Structure 1
C-alpha cells in the first residue's frame, strides 16, 4: 500500500509532502516455533529481483481480508533483502489483461500472470484457514516461470490475537529460505505485532483509510486512521499517515500533534517506518529541513532501492535550492518506479536545472507509456511558456478543458501567464473562473491561495488598493501557514507593513525551528517591510543573515524572491551595480522565476540599475525590452505607466545630449551627461512595485 500511495499526497499540500504509509514492518523469530539456522536457500534472489504477493482468506472472518495482506507486506518489506513489487504496478499488469480487481486480493494464478508480465521472480502466496480452534497460516514461494512451489512454511496461531505474531514468525522463516543471511534477519526483525498491531481490526481500519486516501478523500481517511488508533493507541504507522492526511487538508496543528505521537512511538516500528516517522516529524511538527534531509539520506543508505526515500530526498533538496542534486534523486526515483508521478517530478527537476528539452522528452515518454496526470500537463505548459511556444500551450489548454481539477489548475496557470505579460484584466477574469471552480469543488485552500497570490501580483504591479482588498478578503479564508506568509508579503509590498508583520510574527513564534519559515519566508517579509519604511539598509542586513537560503524553493513562494527584494533595496540606496547583480540573477534564471511577476519586473528594475550607473544606451535597451514584453499590458498599470515615463525621460535626455554634442562651440559648451547617482523620476516608488 505504500507504493500505491506514492505521488498522490500533494493536492492541497506544499509540494514536498510525500509520506509513505507502509515501508515494511517486522517479524518475530519466536523460540516456540523452530526453524533451522543453517537452512540453505532454495531460491537465490538478486537485488534487482521483485516478488509479487497473493493472499487468500479462507476463514469466515472478513476482517482478515486486508489485515493479512498488509501485515505480510509489512513483514517482507522491512528488509532491504526483498523487493516487493509495488501495488500500483500489480494493478497496471492486471489492467493490461483487462482484469479489474483489487491487486491486494488476487489468486496465486493471477499473481503469477502479473509476475510474468512484470518480469518478477517469485510469487509469495499467503493463506489463512481455520484448523480446529487454531488458525493455520501457509506461506508458499512459487517460481513465476515454472509455476512450481519451491518452498513452503506452515504455522498455527493458537488464537485470533496471535495471528499477526504467527504471521511474522512465518515471514522470517520464509526470508531465511529465500537466502537472507542471519545477520540481516537479526538486524531487520521487529516483532510484527509491535510494528503493526496485534489487532486485526486496527490493521483493517488502517487499510480502509488508505483506500480513502488514494482517492483524495482525506476526511474519510482521517476518520478511519483515528478509529485505528482508538483500537490500538500505540499503532505508530497510523499516527504517521494521520499526520499526512491532516496536513493535506490544512489541519496543521493536528498534523503536528499526530506526527509527534508517531515520532514518540517510532521505537516500536521497523527501521523503514522509523525513518518515515522521523521524516514526517521534522516536516510537520518542527519544519527542520536539514534534519529531514539527513534522515532520508540514512534511509537511502540502508534501503538503496526504496523509491519513496529517493523521491522525498529529491523534494527536500529542491526545497533547499539544491536543484542538481534533487534532479539526480528524481532520476533514480523514476528509474525505480516509473509512473505519472515520478515523470512529473522529473520534469520539474529538469525545468529547475534549465533542461527544457529533457523535460519535454520526459513528458513524451510518459505519454508513450500511458502515464497521465494533471502535473505532467501543467509542467508541459510551463515548458511551452518558457520557450514561448503558443501552439504547445494551446494543446495543454485543450487537454484540460472539462476535466474536473485539471481544468482549474491549468486555468490558474494560464491566468498567471497573463499577469506575467501585464494583462491583469485577463488574469482577473481567468483567476475568477478558477476560484468559482474551486468553490464548486469545495477546495477551500485553493480559493484562499488564489486570493493571496492575486494580492501579491497586484501589489508588485503597483495596484496597492486592489492588493489590500484581496488581502483583507484572504484573511477570512482558509489558509495554510505558507499561504498566510505569502499573504504577509503581499501586505508588505502593498504598503501595509503593520498587518504583514502581525501575520509573520505570529507564524514565526509558532514555528521557531522551521527552516524555510525562519530562513526564507520571514526574512523576505521583514525586509519588504523595511523597504516600505524607507530603510533599505536594514532590509539588506536582514537578508544578509539568511543569504545561505537565497535559492530556496519554499512552498508557494517564488524562487529568488530574496534577490528581488535585495535588488530593490540597493536601488533605494542608489547602489546601481549591486542592484544590477541581484536582478541579473533573476533574468539569467527564468526557469526558476517561471510565471512569477518578479521575472518580468526584473527587466524593469535592471533598467533602473543601469540608469543609476549612467549606462544610458543599455538602460534604454532594457526599458524597451520590458515595454515590448508588456506591449499588450493594461495601460492603467502603475508599473507600466512608470516604465513608459522613465523610458521617455531617458530618451529625451539622450536626445538632448546628442543634440548638445552636435552644437559644441568654441565657448566650451559641454555635452550633457547623465551622472551615476542622479535620481530617477520614479525611484521613490521602487519599494512597492
Structure 2
C-alpha cells in the first residue's frame, strides 16, 4: 500500500505535437574529431536547442544523440525542426564538418506523468511520455534521410495551413508527398510528407527499412512486376509503356499548368522578372504542356477579389489552377546553395497543394541559370509524360532563343507585361532597351514589330521584322513559324493565310496562331473559316479574347448573322477592345437603324481617325451628303497629319462623298491622287514596301472609281505598273480586284459578255462586294435583266459585308455602301 502511494499519477490523454530528431552519424563524428572538440560542439548544440525551445515554445522530454520534444501546435514543431536542421548545418559548415539531422513530426494523443523528485535525482526524466504517437514519430524520424523532415498525414495539413505564420520563409517552403507507407507494428498504411527549405531539403523518397516500407499495390510489388514483365515480353507489346515516363499527376497532352511567381532567394533582384520569363519561354516550347499566361492569371486574381500584383505562391496559384481548369502548378525557385546557383521547380497538385514532383539543377554562377532552367523544364516535361524525342525536337537552349544578358531578359519580361495590357508605346521602349543590350535578341525584335503594328506604324514594324528574320536561327520552332507567317505577308502574300493555318493546326492552343489565322481568313473573305479559328481561340485561358470576339463578329456580320455579330462585338467592347464600337455601329447601320449606329459612334474618340470611315459611310447611307463630306474631309486631314498609308487610303472615302454629292471633278482629283501616291510608294520599294498589298488595293480601287467616272487612264497606269510585281499580284484580293478592273474596262468598251466571263470564276462564295457590283452592271449592259436582278438583290442582302469587308483598311467601305442602294430592275 505504501509503495502504491509513491507511484506517479498518469494524466488524461492529451493531443500533442511530437518531434523526434536524430543527429546523423554522431558516434563516427566523435571518433573523428576527438572527445575535447566533441564536448565543445555538443555544448554549442545544447545552447542551440535551448534557444530554439524558447523560440518555438517547445518542451524537451528526452535528449541523447537525438531529441524528443512536445509542442502545443504543429507549426511550432515545424518551426523548431526547420531552424534546427538549418542552423545545425551552418554550425557544421563553420567547423568544416557535415552536421545533419533527421526529423519526424506527428500529432497524436499521448499519456504523460511526472516522476517523483527522488526518481529525478537518481536519473529519471522529470516527465515521461508514452502512447502510440511516440513510436509513430520515431518511425518517421528513423526512415528520414539526413537533413530530411518527414510529417505524418495528421501533422501535414495542420502545419501546411499555418505555414503563413512563419512569415516570408513560409511562402518558400517545399512540400512533397512520398505516398503511403507501412510501419512495423502499425496495422494501417500511413501517408508520408516531406517539408523543407530550398537548397536544404533532400526532397527524395525515403529508403525502405525493416521497420518502414512503401505500401505498393499488388501489381507494383516485385513478384507481380516480374510476372507482368514476362507476360509483356511474351506478347511483344508494351515497349511504348516501358519507355514513356509515367507522370506523377494525372496529366495529359495539351493540359494546362499555372506557373507560380519565381521565388528568388539569391537577393539578386535582376533575376526576379528575367528568370521567371525565361522559365515560361523554356516551358512554352513544348507542344505537350500548355502554360497559362501571366496576364490571364492576374485576371483571375481580379475575379478572386485580390490585387493584380498579389504574389502567386503555392496556395494562390493552386486556386487559380482550380478556377481556370489547369491540371498542375509549377513553382520555380532560384537559390544560392553552397556557393552555387540552384534552379529548382516543383509540380504541385492544386487540389491538395502537395508537391508530387521536383527537379533541381546547379550552376556555377548567375550566367548558368538559363542552362539550369532548360535542364529542369526538360525533366519536368518528361515526367509529365512528354517523350524525350519530342522534347529534343521542339526545344532549343534558352541562351540561344532568348539572351544571355539577364538585364535584357528582364527588360523583355517587363515589355511583355505592358504589351499584354495594350500599353504599346511603353512596351516598345522596353523591347528597344532589350535589343540595345543584346542586338541578337530575336524575340525582342519580334516584340518591337508587334508594337509598331499595334500603333499602325507598318514601316517601322517591317524594319524590326527584318532584324528578327536575320536572327531566325535564334528562335524556338513555334516562334520561327510565327515569324515565317509574318514574313509571308510581304514576301509571299498568296501563301500568308496558309502559313497561319499551319501554325494554328500545329499549335492548337497557341492564342496568337488561332487569332491571326482568324484575321487572315477574314481578310480573304473566308468567313466560315474565320469563325472556326476565332471560336477556337475563345478558350477561358485566352487573355486577348476581346480581340477574338471582334474578329468573330466581323465574320458573322459579313455572313449576315447580325444577332450573333451584335453579341460578339458587345463582348469585345466589354472586354476593353473599344475599336469594336465601330463594328457595332456597322451592325445597326446595315439594318438602317441609323440612330442606334450613331449612338455607338458617339463613344468613338474624335481623335481616332478611323472612326471617320464609318461616320462618312453611314452619312452616305442616310443620304446626309454634306455631313459625309465634312466627316471625310476631317478624317483625311487627320490622316495627312499622321502620314503613311492612311494619308493615301483616306482619299477614297472623300472621293465617293464628292461623287455622291455631284462633284465628279473633285472626286476624280482625289482618286487620281490616291492612285499616283500609292504607285509612287510601290515604285520606290520595288513592290516590297510594308504596305505593298494595301497600296496595290488602293491603286486598283482608285482605278475602279475612275473608270466609273469616265477616266480610263488611271486604270491603264495602275495595271501597267502592277504587272511588274508578280509576287504582289498573286495575293487573292489583288488578283480579284485586277479582274474587276479588267471587267469594267471590257464593259465600258461595249463587251459586257466578256466582262461576265472575266468575273464568273471569282464567284466562289468569298467574292468581294465590288465583284458583284461589276457583275450586276455587266448583266444590265448585256440586257440580261434577270441576271442583273439576282446580283442587285444579293448586294442589298449583304449590306453587312459592304460595311465590314477589309480591303485596303476599309478604303472601299463608302463605295460599297453607295452601291448597296442599287435597286433591282423592274420586271
What's the TM-score once normalised by structure 1's chain length? 0.70
CA 1:219–1:97 in 2, change beyond 3 Å: closer, same or farther?
closer
In the aligned structure 2, how far is the partner of 1:139 from the partner of 1:448? 54
Q: Which runs of 5+ in 2 are unaligned?
A: 1-241, 682-689, 805-812
Distance in 1 (CA, whole Å) between partners of 2:719 and 2:460 is 21
Match of 1:195 among 401, 414, 417: 401
Correspondence for 1:544 among 746, 758, 762: 758
Provide the residue aligned with 1:244 in structure 2. Answer: 450
Three-state SS of the structure 2 residue aligned to 1:130 is strand
Q: Residue 560 of structure 1 corresponds to which residue in structure 2? A: 769
**Structure 1 residue 485 and structure 2 residue 697: aligned?**
yes
The reply to whether residue 342 of structure 1 matches residue 583 of structure 2 is no
| Compared CA separation, residues 203 and 452, structure 1 to 2 (3 A) | farther
Task: Verify: 1:292 aligned to 2:504, yes or no.
Answer: no
1:556-579 Cα distance to aligned partner (Å, 9 max, x none): xxx421232344345455555554
User: What residue in structure 2 maps to residue 164 of structure 1?
Assistant: 370
| Offset, 1:455 | 2.1
Match of 2:597 among 393, 398, 421: 393
C-alpha distance in 1 between matches for 2:820 and 2:569: 31
Assess, with a 3 A threshold, how the Cα gap between structure 1 residues 258 and 419 changes in structure 2: closer, same or farther.
same
Q: Which structure 1 segments of 5+ residues have no match?
A: 1-35, 554-558, 611-616, 619-689
Question: Which of these two proteins has the greater Rg computed from alpha carbons?
Answer: 2
Q: Structure 1 pair 390/250, CA: closer, same or farther in 2 (3 Å)?
A: closer
CA distance in 1, matches of 2:705, 2:583: 28
For 1:465, the equivalent position in structure 2 comes to 665
- How many angstroms apart in 2 are the aligned matches of 1:48 and 1:412? 42
| Match status 1:111 vs 2:320 | no
* Whole-angstrom distance in 1 between the partners of 2:628 and 2:584: 20
Name which of structure 1's ranges 92-101 and 470-479 shifts more when overlaid on structure 2. Answer: 470-479
**Measured at CA, do residues 582 and 427 of structure 1 come closer, stay the same or move farther in structure 2, by a change above 3 Å?**
same
Deviations 1:490-535 (A, max 9, x none): 355235554555466556645724514541344445555666xx43
CA shift, 1:172, in A, is 0.6
More strand by proportion, 1 or 2?
2
CA–CA separation in structure 1 for the residues paired with 2:584 and 2:541? 21
CA distance in structure 2 between the aligned counterparts of 1:456 and 1:234, rounded to whole angstroms: 48
Distance 1:238 1:246 in 2: 12
2:629 to 407, 419, 428: 428
The 3 A distance-change label for structure 1 pair 89 and 225 is: closer
Higher relative contact order (CA 8 A, sep 6+): 1
Q: 2:291 aligns with which of 71, 84, 90?
A: 84
**Are residues 1:68 and 2:283 paired?**
no
Equivalent-residue separation in structure 1 for 2:371 and 2:753 (angstroms): 61
Match among 333, 358, 362 for residue 537 of structure 2: 333
The separation in 2 between residues aligned to 1:549 and 1:249, in whole angstroms, is 35
Following superposition, the deviation at residue 394 of structure 1 comes to 4.9
Superposed displacement of residue 373, structure 1: 2.1
- 1:588 aligns to 2:804 (yes or no): no
Instruction: State the secondary structure of the residue aligned to 2:623.
Output: coil
Match of 2:489 in 1: 283
The answer (yes or no) to whether the contact 1:527–1:539 under 8 Å persists in 2 is no
- Which of the numbers 522, 534, 538 marks the counterpart of 1:318? 522
CA-atom RMSD in angstroms? 3.9
Match of 1:156, SS state, is: strand
SS at match of 1:197: coil
Greater Cα shift, 453-462 or 470-479: 470-479
- Determine if the alignment matches structure 1 residue 147 to structure 2 residue 348: no
Pairing 1:451–2:651 present: yes
- The alignment covers a number of residue pairs equal to 559
Q: CA deviation at 1:94?
A: 2.0
For residues 313 and 454 of structure 1, do their structure 2 counterparts lie closer, same or farther at Cα, with a shift above 3 Å needed? same
Contact kept, 8 Å, 1:493 with 1:529, in 2: the verdict is no
The superposition leaves residues 54-106 of structure 1 with CA deviations (integer Å, 9 ceiling, x where unpaired) of 22334454443332122211111122221211333212112234544458x74
Question: How far is the alpha carbon of 1:588 from its aligned partner?
Answer: 3.3
Query: Which residue pairs with 1:660 in the alignment?
Result: none
Q: Secondary structure at the match of 1:149?
A: strand
**Structure 2 equivalent of residue 418 of structure 1:** 619
Aligned to 1:371: 575
CA spacing shift, 1:201–1:380, aligned 2, 3 Å: same
2: CA distance between counterparts of 1:251 and 1:503? 25
- Corresponding residue for residue 735 of structure 2: 519
**Cα pair distance change 1:130/1:178, threshold 3 Å:** same
Partner of 1:204: 410
For 2:290, what is the secondary structure of its paired residue? coil
Distance 1:136 1:512, change over 3 A: same
Check 1:564–1:547 CA distance in 2 against 1; reply closer, same or farther (3 A cut): same
Q: Deviations over 1:425-458 (max 9, x none)?
A: 1112334455677789x68655654333222443
- Could you tell me how far apart the structure 1 residues matched to 2:796 and 2:251 are? 52
Contact 1:255 1:285 in 2 (8 A): no
Say whether 1:50 aligns with 2:260: no
Q: Give 1:313 shift.
A: 1.9
> Structure 2-normalised TM-score?
0.59
Matching residue of 1:535: 749
Aligned partner of residue 374 in structure 1, secondary structure? coil
